[in-house]
Amino acid sequence: MTVQLADQLSDPNLFRQQAYINGQWKNADNGDTFAVMDPATGNVIAQVANLGASQTVTAIEIADQAMRKWRLQTAKSRADILESWYQLILLNTEDLAIIMSAEQGKTLAESRGEISYSASFIKWFAEEGKRVYGDVIPLAQSDRRGIAIKQPIGVVAAITPWNFPSAMISRKVGPALSVGCAVVLKPAAETPLSALALAELGERAGLPAGLLNIVTSEDAVAVGAVLTTHALVKKLTFTGSTPVGKLLMAQCASTVKRTSMELGGNAPIIVFDDADLDLVMPGVINAKFRNSGQTCISANRILVQKGIYQEFIERLSAAVAEFDFGAYTDKSSSHGPLITAKAVENVHAKVKKAIEQGATVVCGGQLSDGPGHFYPATILGNLNSDMSIFQEEIFGPVAAIYSFDTEQQAVEIANDTPFGLAAYFYTENMRRCWKVSEALEYGMVGVNETAISAEVVPFGGFKESGQGREGSKYGVDDYLEIKYICMGNVD
């Protein structure tokens, strides 16, 4: 069954099903398409152009030519176009939220929040692009002058995930365009419609043709191989799983591309017994169940000090009992589905394995009946670090609760993972705030707060959670080359 998504929009032109190359909407050369599904109903909502390797090569070549003019424009002129794009995104928030909810499944409230978050990166980097400074270097010789300048790295390949189909685009495209690069973007096959809608608005804002190219494809292997090996691509930016990130990095090695990787996480939340549970509960619920647990910084391991362990579980159980999982079209829905049937199977397999290894089910843990890829809010107790779920990214609405005795033990448990993206902890002890923050081996730490992401802060991880930082003043660095210029015989 195909649902007419365009009929729900105030501006039906934001609903696009073709790829976007050189400022033109393109079908696949062979006419092939792939279906985009509403994960809450299983209905087909779009048939999107399914491009392959040859059209990806074309997009790269076009981007390289378009960038040659773009990088010569002033930073202010580039910023003016990005500012217009930012304003158009905000003006079309509701339509963009509907498109996102239809293809990704999150509630409209969450989608509206992501659109605002997404737009903030465009505005931030419009300004940061005007603050790319160089240096004058004092040299040892009196007749020489040294200068360091920064220049755009070149064509940027971007591969973005389905869980945040708008924000993960703007967080990469914003800095690239602001400093003079061009972008070839492959969005996730599950959620290409948000990317295409952003491209439509970018065109309206005045982005020159060829600067932003959207290659829609179900063939991630073929397109990814081109993006990682083509000589004209100078940088790859990727958000996704650690295994895929490692593969892409290896492929990029053949042409020594710069890479920035935002990969998997295994985020702990540590709740010390001096914490204010009235403050803790909303933070834990947000960190664990936002987007039905499908975020890279989602709370994967909830560590609760033994003195408050039982009270914590009782409070969390009462809170999740109020959840209402449903489609975005149902105003009573508090949470949406998982992205695919396979995602449901993967989450349920982790739960079953934990039970086999001795975990107890406080609530949930059963497959849902009816249409859509829903999994119930689940709380698991009686867990320990020997269980397989301790080292697995759950990516679903499953709260895994562990207990601990001492501060040192909590830190050791939290750090016992190859990942290091985000961590959180709650305490009223100021000494502990500093000590634990510095001891946690993570790129981002939330203290008495779990809503830690914003356009003004550096987002990224330690260890196998990736490399580089997105957002903040550091977010443009990976899109720039530093050139040293030595001027001799100037005396």
Residue 459 in domain: no
Residue 461 in domain: no
Residue 483 pLDDT exceeds 80: yes
326 and 367 within one domain? yes
Looking at residues 81-103, what average pLDDT do you find?
98
Q: What is the average pLDDT value for the chain, to the nearest integer?
A: 97
| Residue 262 a catalytic site member | yes
The domain total for the chain is 2
Q: What is the pLDDT of residue 3?
A: 62
476 and 431 within one domain? no
Q: Which residues contact 283 (CB under 8 A, 6 or more apart)?
A: 269, 424, 426, 446, 448, 449, 450, 451
Report angle CA 101, 239, 16 to the nearest 5 degrees: 40
Residue type at 63 in one-letter notation: A
Model confidence over 446-481: pLDDT tens digits? 999 999 999 999 999 999 999 999 999 999 999 999
Q: Which of 114, 181, 296, 407 is catalytic?
A: 296
**20: domain CATH number?**
3.40.605.10
Specify the 3-state DSSP secondary structure of 215: coil
87 and 161 within one domain? yes
Q: What is the pLDDT of residue 391?
A: 96
Query: Which residues are bridge partners to 258 per DSSP?
Result: 235
Q: What is the pLDDT of residue 58?
A: 98
Nearest-CA neighbor of 424 among 394, 404, 401, 444? 444
Specify the 3-state DSSP secondary structure of 18: coil
Residue 197 pLDDT exceeds 90: yes
Distance CA 482, CA 259 (A): 16
Q: What is the pLDDT of residue 370?
A: 80
Structural domain of 251:
5-263+466-484
415 and 314 within one domain? yes
**441: domain CATH number?**
3.40.309.10
Residue 491 in domain: no
| Residue 470 a catalytic site member | no
Distance CA 135, CA 131 (A): 13
26 and 48 within one domain? yes
Q: Which of 203, 262, 393, 470 is catalytic?
A: 262
Q: How far apart are the first and last CA of the chain?
A: 77
Instruction: Look up residue 1 and give its two tokens.
Output: 């069954």
Looking at residues 219-235, what average pLDDT do you find?
98
Widest Cα–Cα separation across the chain: 82
Q: Contact 153/126 with Cβ under 8 angstroms?
A: no
Looking at residues 154-166, what average pLDDT do you find?
98
Confidence (pTM): 0.96
Percent of the chain topping pLDDT 90: 98
Model confidence over 343-373: pLDDT tens digits? 999 999 999 999 999 999 999 999 988 899 9
Residue 2 pLDDT exceeds 70: no
Q: What are phi and psi of 300, to 5 degrees?
A: -95, -35
Cα-Cα-Cα-Cα dihedral sign, residues 443, 447, 451, 454? negative
Looking at residues 314-337, what average pLDDT do you find?
97
